[in-house]
Amino acid sequence: MTVTVLVPDDDGVAVLSEVAGVRPVRYTWDTPLPPEAAEAEVLIPGFSRPPAADELVARLPQLKLIQLLSAGAEDWIGRVPDGVLLSTCRGAHGGSTAEWVVATLLLVYRELREFSAAQAGRRWSKRTTDTLQGKRILVVGAGDLGNQLRRRLEPFDARITMVGLSARNDVHGVDELPELLAEHDAVVLMVPLTSRTKGMVDAKFLAAMPDGAILVNAARGQVVDTDALLAELNSGRLRAALDVTEPEPLPRDHPLWTAPGLVLTPHVAGAARGLQRRSYAVAAAEIERYVNGELPNNLVHGEY
């Protein structure tokens, strides 16, 4: 049995050519599909969902699996035909995203921006800073991203508390958040965007965080109420590091650009060198499971 897989780039074709039982076929969104599309069972859309995705999917009569190269599936939820599986690329981006979180926490605690400004002004501004050591970090999201972050923070002697959708072993449930927030110096968001997490970080959530705490969003912009966060930043009570925003991209006149106490990056936490190679390694493993008659590990169920 040979399974035809539609692949959006040459790198993907090269990787999938090494998978037994797979025939990768190159395609592009803005040109007619190749003849092999009529028998394609697997589609790899690329790193984002293009505007013509619905039309393309409708032209694939044998489609059984959509394999994403991203860890998030919110653009596809509710837009996949009945009977078609949807699998994410969970596991490909956790390391680089966790690295970004560690970098931003160190940037804030060790005041590296302030020292950089002093360097630009040729000022020898010697002083004592804060430290990541001993900080109580609440990680909301106990999947691959959250666990990758935990592994990287523990060597800094930070104290990590994990929160998942439901409690298990050493993971707290989201229902415990109101009590946990007040006990932590930083809160890191690493959850998928779903109906349960959209707007999770509202004014009440932020008010429960202690003075001087840091909110780090490496999830999706819509998880946080932007206006509520702006109010806390402008008051000086909280600090934040955002890799994602709502809206996104951020308009040039948006108040987040000039909000005090904010580290802002343009959705690049996972965009480290080797991104495509890591993504296709996960995608190839998922497709190999499908070819062998198994269910992919990263299947999206219901609302994800």
What structural domains does the chain harbor?
3-92+273-291 (3.40.50.720), 94-264 (3.40.50.720)
User: Is 220 a residue of the active site?
Assistant: yes
Give residue 126's pLDDT band: very low, low, confident or very high (50, 70, 90): very high
- Of the two residues 185 and 304, the one the predictor is more confident about is 185
By residue count, the chain amounts to: 304
End-to-end CA distance of the chain: 31
Of residues 23, 152, 254, 267, which has the active-site annotation? Answer: 267
pLDDT score recorded for residue 302: 54
Nearest to residue 5, comparing CAs of 14, 16, 155? 16
User: Rounded to whole angstroms, how far apart are CA atoms 106 and 293?
Assistant: 45
User: Rounded to whole angstroms, how far apart are CA atoms 123 and 161?
Assistant: 39
Of residues 220, 246, 286, 288, which has the active-site annotation? Answer: 220
Per-residue tokens: 45 = 């859309």
Strand partners, 168: 171
pLDDT surpasses 50 at 278: yes
Give residue 52's pLDDT band: very low, low, confident or very high (50, 70, 90): confident
- On the CB side of 33, CA atoms within 13 Å amount to 19
Of residues 237, 248, 254, 289, which has the active-site annotation? Answer: 248
The letter for the amino acid at 84 is V
Using only C-alpha atoms, the chain has a radius of gyration, in whole angstroms, of: 21
pLDDT score recorded for residue 42: 97
pLDDT score recorded for residue 131: 98
User: Is 267 a residue of the active site?
Assistant: yes
pLDDT, tens only, 17-28: 999 999 999 999
pLDDT, tens only, 132-152: 999 999 999 999 899 999 999
Q: What is the mean pLDDT of the chain?
A: 94
Instruction: Give me the sheet containing 85-87, strands edge to edge.
Output: 22-26, 3-7, 42-43, 65-67, 85-87
Entry pTM: 0.88
| Alpha helix positions (H), the chain | 10-16, 53-58, 94-109, 112-120, 144-153, 177-181, 203-207, 226-235, 275-291
User: Is 248 a residue of the active site?
Assistant: yes
pLDDT, tens only, 164-180: 988 998 999 999 999 99
